Structure 1
Amino acid sequence: MFSKKQESTKIDREQRELIEHAQFRIKQKKNLFRHFIVFLAGAVLLIILNKFLDFGTNFRPGQVDWFVWAVLLWFFLFLIHFLNVFLFSSFMNKKWEHEQLDKLVAKQKEKIAKLQNKVDQEHPLPNSTEPKAINPNPPLNP
Structure 2
Amino acid sequence: MFFKAKKESEINLEQHEQLEYAHFRIKQKKRLYTHFVIFLVGSVFLVLINKILKYGETYDWFIWAITFWSFLFVMHVINVFFTQKFLGKDWERAQREKLVHKQKQKIAELQKEIETDFPLSQINKKKED
TM bucket (normalised to shorter chain) is: 0.7 to 0.9
Out of 58, 70, 81, the position equivalent to 2:65 is 70
1:31 maps to a residue whose letter is R
1:77 maps to a residue whose letter is L
SS in 1 for 2:120: coil
How much does 1:132 deviate? 4.1
Counterpart CA distance in 1 for 2:20 and 2:71 is 30
Task: Give the gaps of 5 or more residues in structure 2.
Answer: 1-8
The C-alpha deviation readout for 1:61-83, integer Å capped at 9, x for no partner, is xxxx2101110111111111111
Q: How does 1:1-142 map to 2 (within 5 A)?
A: 12-58=12-58, 60=59, 65-126=60-121, 132=128
Counterpart CA distance in 2 for 1:16 and 1:122 is 47
TM-score scaled by length of structure 2: 0.79
1:136 is matched with which residue?
none
1:125 maps to a residue whose letter is L
How much does 1:123 deviate? 2.4
TM-score scaled by length of structure 1: 0.73
How much does 1:110 deviate? 0.5
RMSD: 2.4
The C-alpha deviation readout for 1:9-66, integer Å capped at 9, x for no partner, is x9811112111211211111111111111111111111122122211214x3xxxx21
State percent identity of aligned pairs.
47
Counterpart CA distance in 2 for 1:12 and 1:87 is 29
2:6 is matched with which residue?
none
Counterpart CA distance in 2 for 1:119 and 1:13 is 38
Counterpart CA distance in 1 for 2:75 and 2:91 is 21
SS in 1 for 2:121: coil
Task: Give the gaps of 5 or more residues in structure 1.
Answer: 1-9, 134-142
